Chain A
Amino acid sequence: MLDVWNGLAAAFWLVVRLDPDLIEITLRSLQVTLTALVIASLIALPLAALLAVRRFRWRRAVIAVLNALMGLPPVVVGLVVYILLSRSGPFGVFGLLFTPTAMIIAQVIIIVPLIASIAHQSLRELWTDYHDLLISLNVTQRQKMQTLLWDARRALLTAALAGFGRAIGEVGAIMIVGGNIDHVTRVLTTAIALETGRGDFALALGLGFVLIALAVTVNLVIHGLGRTEREGRW
């Protein structure tokens, strides 16, 4: 119990003092995860729309693989990305290992299947609703996808939030490919792991509370945006 209170106190002081290290780590967490989220959404949402409207030979297989990949163990993703980016790997020449870019790559791989699967569910449902009308109106494949993505945007926001939640709290993969280097690749989750290992539970807990607060805030802000828009339009 004492640890929890110490943790709260530590977190409180870290925030109140605007601890430069804490701010740096938090901003890096946000930067890595939000970048990964944007990239992953740009890949996953059109993919989900395509899977919803287009019948091609491997559609079912792709969907099954996506669903399976949702449960991909992050540590394994980290390992694979590590091997690919390491000096002797195929992408070694770019020197990306132990940079925030490597962490972004790992997170994108982890959340694309998650976002695509959730998005596909709701787009599929919408497509059954819209099918007759859109076919009758002779829409092109592209217009079909645009219509679905636009009209399902609130459900897609939820999909993106799920991706954000998974990415911001992820530690296994980014620890491996980022290396948790102070002032370079240290983020909230890897810092927590480090402080826990060192036995500094108070600081670890403090960082943990900041992480939770961050996740909740981002969720609230995005939901808030969605709501304002809904009231404006509907």
Chain B
Amino acid sequence: MSALLPLTVTGAEARRRGKTLVGPVDLTMDGPGTTVVIGPNGSGKTTLLSLLHGTARLSRGTITWNCPLEQARAAQAFVFQRPVMLRRNVRDNIAYPLQLRGTRRPEARAQADQWAERIGLGDMLDRSAGALSGGEQQKLALARALILKPELLFLDEPCAALDGRSMREIETILANAKAEGTKLVLATHDMGQARRMADDVLFLLHGRVHEARPAPEFFAGPDTAEARAFLKGDIVE
């Protein structure tokens, strides 16, 4: 069903002030499995995801979708590592993307209520989003991304502030989204979550894709010494 994928990245680089943050990266991504992006702090996960999403400036190389860029952008959503809360209540936060695309307010709010219920914010609809806890804000951001039914969903450590139970609930919701055809690209520091969710793994190191393989192979035994060390929890140089 996806008109979006495959995605082809060739020689993509993100440079800021003469320093290369990410790249050069070459990869192709095809549906429908979940791609999990792992790597140490500062290895470039966030930057790579925003490059692909189109919110970070591409300094060199190309990123091509299977459809015009505009269409591709409209079919994606992004859940940020630091959730952005609109200064509105929970319901209006979740309804916001729908309203942007012209859905009438009552309809948008009704859908927002459903999503809030599903994600576990059902009894906080009228609270100011800024007054939610960190974990609740992450859930809100996720609901706000899913409400658009994106074909491709980027998740940048969406469960970093969640307790075990919330994390399982979110993973179930994500698994449902995947079953309905959403391609997930997930950056995470939680190796348990990576094992549970991944179909493919991208291991980043120093801004480059150090290892890219199907998940079962990767977790059975990475090719590179760095990835092995990272999986064991050792410090990677």
Contacts and interface: CB of A to CB of B under 8 A. Distances in A.
A136 B128 CA distance: 22
Contacts, number: 35
Contacts of A132: 55, 80, 84
Interface in B70-100: 73-74, 77-78, 80, 84, 86-89, 96-97, 100
A12 interface: no
Nearest to B82: A132
A126 B78 CA distance: 20
A135 B88 contact: no
B15 interface: no
Interface string B36-71: 000000000000000001010000000000000000
A3 interface: no
Interface in A142-179: 143, 147, 151-152
How many A residues are at the interface, by size bracket? 10 to 19
A138 B55 CA distance: 10
Given A129-B84, A132-B84, A133-B84, A139 B100 contact: yes
Given A132-B80, A133-B80, A136-B55, A151 B86 contact: yes
B100 A137 contact: yes
Nearest to A140: B100
Contacts of B53: 136
Nearest to B127: A234
A136 B74 CA distance: 9
B87 A136 contact: no
A147 B96 CA distance: 10
A135 B77 CA distance: 11
Interface in A85-133: 126, 129-130, 132-133
Nearest to B131: A234
Contact of A130 (B73, B84, B100): B84
Nearest to A133: B84
B73 to A, nearest CB: 5
A232 to B, nearest CB: 10
B211 to A, nearest CB: 28
Contacts of B89: 233-234
A234 B55 contact: no
Contacts of A135: 55
Contacts of A147: 86, 96
Interface string A192-234: 0000000000000000000000000000000000000000011
Contact of B88 (A133, A136, A151): A151
Contacts of A233: 88-89
Given A132-B80, A133-B80, A234-B128, A126 B74 contact: no
Which of A136, A138, A139, A234 neighbours the largest number of chain B CB atoms within 10 Å of its CB?
A136
Interface string B113-138: 00000000000001110000000000
B80 A138 contact: no
Nearest to B154: A136
A135 B100 CA distance: 12
A234 B88 CA distance: 7
A152 B87 CA distance: 8
A122 to B, nearest CB: 11
Given A132-B55, A234-B89, A234-B128, A138 B84 contact: no
Contacts of B74: 138
Contacts of A136: 53, 55, 77-78, 80
A234 B87 CA distance: 9
Which of A130, A132, A137, A233 neighbours the largest number of chain B CB atoms within 10 Å of its CB?
A137
A153 to B, nearest CB: 9
Interface of B: 53, 55, 73-74, 77-78, 80, 84, 86-89, 96-97, 100, 126-128
23 contacts: A126-B87, A129-B84, A130-B84, A132-B55, A132-B84, A133-B80, A133-B86, A136-B53, A136-B77, A137-B96, A137-B100, A138-B73, A147-B86, A147-B96, A151-B86, A151-B87, A151-B88, A152-B87, A233-B88, A233-B89, A234-B89, A234-B126, A234-B127
Given A130-B86, A136-B78, 4 more contacts: A133-B84, A136-B77, A137-B100, A143-B100
